[in-house]
Structure 1
Amino acid sequence: MDERGPPAEAFAGLFRVSQRRVDGDQLRYYGRALVPGDRLERRLWPVFRDRGYEVRLTTDTYTERDPFTGVELSRQRHVLVATPHSTGLDGVPWTNLLFAGLTVVSTLYAGSQWYGVAVDGPLDILAGWPFAVAVLGVLGVHELGHYALSRYHGVDASLPYFIPLPNVIGTMGAVIRMRGRMPDRKTLFDIGVAGPLAGLVVACLVTVVGLFLPPVADPGFPIEFHYPVLIRGLADLVGQPLDYPGRETVNPVVFAGWVGMFVTFLNLIPVGQLDGGHLVRAMLGKRQATIGALVPAALFGLAAYLYYVQDAAFNAVFLWMFWGVFTMGFAYAGPTTPIYDEALDGKRLLLGFVTFALGVLCFTPVPFEFIP
């Protein structure tokens, strides 16, 4: 008999086991929960973690034949699904490395276009290295912030996946995949806040460095980017201009800082699986659902204001309409639910409010507009 995982006797009074099945590394206990699901998971979480597993309560549909009529009937039963707890790497992360390599190439190419370099050979894209390093540094540190705190708290997470895209940035950003469960609100908060704060620090450093670099010839992209309050404040603080006369523009490294701040604001939208959704869930508990429901309405309202009052460019209206629809999906899916739901301490609550305030400084109603 396979003796992995806790024995059925450990669930006495909590879960009545009718069948136990081993499916590869996964253990499945079929039966009936004797207490509410959230209470069951809280009680069994340490029992399974002591054996090296994480547990989740689900339901399973099966069929059985009625002994009197012979008719097959659909039944439901509870299932405790236990998966091995791991925070280490499982071999060489080839997919992560492949996507990172492709993103290096795409951001180098985008950078070379920002610097006005004609790419006649493969090595010509190396001219865009300052922009590529700045963009990948901002995005990479953001995701590594999440990853580092996941490892610190013992939550299983993947390394960052960079997403290459042939646009003026060269990428659609980076993500990590959270595979483990959140044990408590403190862990959820720490992992959620680490990414935006780490990425924003690098975005500010990149912006300041870019402001001291020489301007470049306007690459002639049919798009104009507008600066948020934070970039304008940094420029005033160090006494460097954001606008140049003639056909010159700030060094593209400044634009890499703009990318980091724009990504920070979007990630801090307080809904669902976004970083902001994690923070609000950790800070307010289940009351987060109210805020999550209001977010799409606020974004639709912003789009309407820009269209009817400000007569803004259509792309800005479309941007916030798109994010309104996008966040509706996030709100429906809901945030991550921790096993233990105790309130946060005062220091984390204060840090959460400061983080959202910094996110507001990264906001501009019309981030960019296309030039006809």
Structure 2
Amino acid sequence: MKLWLILIIISPIAYLIVQQSVKNKTTTPVWLCWLVIMLPSCIWTIWTYIFGQDQPLPLPVFLFPLIVCPLLYGWLVQRGKPKKSNLTSTSEKEQETVVPVAESAIESPPPRPIDRQEETTLRNCFPWNVYYLQTIDYRPQAIFCRGKLKTIPEDAYNKIKRNVEKAFGDRFFLIFQESFRGKPFFALVPNPEAKATAQEKVKNDRRFGFALTMFLITLLTTTVAGVNIIGTSSEELLSDPQLFVPGLLYSLPLLLIIGVQKFSHYFVAAYYKIRTTLPYFIPFPFLLDSFSLGTLGAIVQRRSPIPHRKALFDVAVVGSISSLLLIVPILYWGLSLSTVVPLEESSTFDIQAQDPRVSFFLSLVAKLALGSSLEAGMGIDLHPLATAGCVGLFIVAINLMPIGQLDGGHIVHAVFGQKMAIAVGQITRILALLFALIHPYFWIWTIILWLIPLIDQPALNDVTELDNRRDFCGLLALALLIVIVLPLPGAVGTWLNI
């Protein structure tokens, strides 16, 4: 019965993710895309319900929906995309990818055509010795200005941006991006909040009451999850509310880790004058007497475009690194309070007897904290504080995945450009699928990664590259992801005697 409850809880979350992924991108109904994505979990749940949890899934029953459904999902999205007009010009067939700079821009009506006088004004915004403008193309979501770059990208963008703002005010966002052929072009996207006052923008961004309510609900769900980790039954918890207090050893450090990560995003975005919402914590409904994380993390929604790739990189990397710096002492402290227990083969993924060898990073911290007591064939009975550290480490690993709008996707986009980021994201999806074939416990996260769009929203100046220092930090962040995700190599385990 619990499997059905979990499926019911996951279903609306998956629907919201699918809705965000396909809205305004395809005419295929959202419910149909959602049904295809949920089909594997439904098949596996029905099989388990009929044959019992002790009967393992046959390989065909596991593989067929896991491989076919993502392919069918992609086909449905592609089939529902609106067809281009036959009058499309040759320059429009270059398959340039311009993503709207904000969700609100996607929902805005098509820009009104500029008249001949305004078009002349727009052409005058492009000095010939900065960017030699050749053609102006009108699209439903943007006005494309194509030509030849005559100076360094950063100077060109700053000069033309000043000219456009002087001529049109805040009527347009100016995007500077490269096509898949490597040719820089400009695009003017309508600003949906051009007439909104500063007070209205702040009111829309900072919903203090909603943010506080979501935090308190998440505090409750994570505290109950912490109580369950300790081993308190639902009857004991309902009879003695004071038993909630030990659950704070799990909930408070976990929410602190998530809060540090998201508020780092918030403050770095504010430094670059990027409007965002407050962090909204996401509670996960708990099931009494069963293990639950109690939360799905938190989100910070952008309300204005990112100015350049430097800001895109800093917002992403600061959040992940700051939370990781907090996770290490929490994890070390929690592991030092944990006990070493015999590890059975069936308990590899049991939270009560965690095998630290599932992560290279976790193995090193565990060996430092437990010393010689942690030997080969031994697991760890995690203290709630250590459990919070492990969950925080898992959240950091998910965020560092180089896909779409995750922190890792932003980092790869900022370091290598959008075209390379799309390729890296697709490779990551395939590797996640292969990993799920080896460890079926990760199939749900694999599906989530396949739901996340590969294309990240571009910065306004998406052409100017990063400096060497940020390039190095980006590669270091991706190396940390590998160390966290990959299991402990056998040779290193033998050397450490674990």
| TM-score relative to the length of structure 1 | 0.72
Which residue of structure 2 aligns with residue 234 of structure 1?
365
Residue number among 467, 474, 490 corresponding to 1:345 in the alignment = 467
Residue number among 413, 435, 442 corresponding to 1:281 in the alignment = 413
Residue number among 208, 229, 237 corresponding to 1:93 in the alignment = 208
Which residue of structure 2 aligns with residue 184 of structure 1?
308
Q: Secondary structure at the match of 1:35?
A: strand
The Cα of 1:159 is off from its aligned counterpart by: 1.2
Which residue of structure 2 aligns with residue 198 of structure 1?
322
For 2:307, give the aligned amino acid. P
Q: Could you tell me how far apart the structure 2 residues matched to 1:274 and 1:264 are?
A: 10
For 1:229, give the aligned amino acid. F
Q: Secondary structure at the match of 1:172?
A: strand
For 2:228, give the aligned amino acid. Q
Residues 133 and 35 (structure 1), Cα distance of their counterparts in 2 relative to 1, 3 Å cut: same
Task: Assess if the C-alpha contact under 8 Å between 1:53 and 1:85 holds in 2.
Answer: no
Task: Assess if the C-alpha contact under 8 Å between 1:242 and 1:250 holds in 2.
Answer: no
The Cα of 1:45 is off from its aligned counterpart by: 6.8
Q: Could you tell me how far apart the structure 2 residues matched to 1:55 and 1:359 are?
A: 38
The Cα of 1:150 is off from its aligned counterpart by: 0.5
Which residue of structure 1 aligns with residue 23 of structure 2?
none
Q: Could you tell me how far apart the structure 2 residues matched to 1:261 and 1:339 are?
A: 32
Residue number among 485, 494, 497 corresponding to 1:363 in the alignment = 485
Q: Could you tell me how far apart the structure 1 residues matched to 2:370 and 2:141 are?
A: 68
Unaligned runs of 5+ in 1: 1-7, 17-29, 59-77, 307-311, 367-372
Residue number among 270, 290, 299 corresponding to 1:175 in the alignment = 299
Q: Could you tell me how far apart the structure 2 residues matched to 1:31 and 1:297 are?
A: 32
Residues 342 and 206 (structure 1), Cα distance of their counterparts in 2 relative to 1, 3 Å cut: same
Task: Assess if the C-alpha contact under 8 Å between 2:397 and 2:485 holds in 1.
Answer: yes
Q: Secondary structure at the match of 1:156?
A: coil
Q: Secondary structure at the match of 1:362?
A: helix
Residue number among 114, 118, 122 corresponding to 1:14 in the alignment = 122
The Cα of 1:328 is off from its aligned counterpart by: 3.4
Which residue of structure 2 aligns with residue 55 of structure 1?
172
Residues 88 and 200 (structure 1), Cα distance of their counterparts in 2 relative to 1, 3 Å cut: farther
Which residue of structure 1 aligns with residue 277 of structure 2?
158
Residues 123 and 80 (structure 1), Cα distance of their counterparts in 2 relative to 1, 3 Å cut: same
Task: Assess if the C-alpha contact under 8 Å between 1:85 and 1:180 holds in 2.
Answer: no
The Cα of 1:13 is off from its aligned counterpart by: 3.6
List per-residue Cα deviations over 1:133-186 (Å, max 9, x = no partner).
111111111111111110111111111111111152211111111111011110
Q: Secondary structure at the match of 2:452?
A: helix
The Cα of 1:217 is off from its aligned counterpart by: 11
Which residue of structure 2 aligns with residue 303 of structure 1?
436
The Cα of 1:212 is off from its aligned counterpart by: 2.9
Task: Assess if the C-alpha contact under 8 Å between 1:45 and 1:54 holds in 2.
Answer: no
Which residue of structure 2 aligns with residue 134 of structure 1?
253
The Cα of 1:55 is off from its aligned counterpart by: 3.4
Residues 242 and 201 (structure 1), Cα distance of their counterparts in 2 relative to 1, 3 Å cut: farther
Residue number among 412, 426, 443 corresponding to 1:293 in the alignment = 426
Task: Assess if the C-alpha contact under 8 Å between 1:112 and 1:127 holds in 2.
Answer: yes
Q: Secondary structure at the match of 2:213?
A: helix
Q: Could you tell me how far apart the structure 1 residues matched to 2:374 and 2:165 are?
A: 56
The Cα of 1:121 is off from its aligned counterpart by: 3.8
1:223 equivalent in alignment to 2:342: no
Which residue of structure 2 aligns with residue 114 of structure 1?
229
Which residue of structure 1 aligns with residue 75 of structure 2?
none
For 1:300, give the aligned amino acid. L
Q: Could you tell me how far apart the structure 1 residues matched to 2:456 and 2:334 are?
A: 36
Task: Assess if the C-alpha contact under 8 Å between 2:122 and 2:164 holds in 1.
Answer: no
Task: Assess if the C-alpha contact under 8 Å between 1:14 and 1:33 holds in 2.
Answer: no
Unaligned runs of 5+ in 2: 1-114, 125-139, 150-155, 176-187, 489-498
Task: Assess if the C-alpha contact under 8 Å between 1:115 and 1:217 holds in 2.
Answer: no
More displaced stretch, 274-283 vs 129-138: 129-138
Q: Secondary structure at the match of 2:172?
A: strand
Q: Secondary structure at the match of 1:14?
A: helix
Count of residue correspondences = 314
List per-residue Cα deviations over 1:43-66 (Å, max 9, x = no partner).
3477549999483479xxxxxxxx
For 1:182, give the aligned amino acid. I
The Cα of 1:238 is off from its aligned counterpart by: 3.8
Which residue of structure 2 aligns with residue 81 of structure 1?
191
Residue number among 312, 332, 339 corresponding to 1:208 in the alignment = 332
Residues 261 and 54 (structure 1), Cα distance of their counterparts in 2 relative to 1, 3 Å cut: farther
| TM-score relative to the length of structure 2 | 0.55
Q: Secondary structure at the match of 1:179?
A: coil
Identity %: 24
Which residue of structure 2 aligns with residue 328 of structure 1?
450
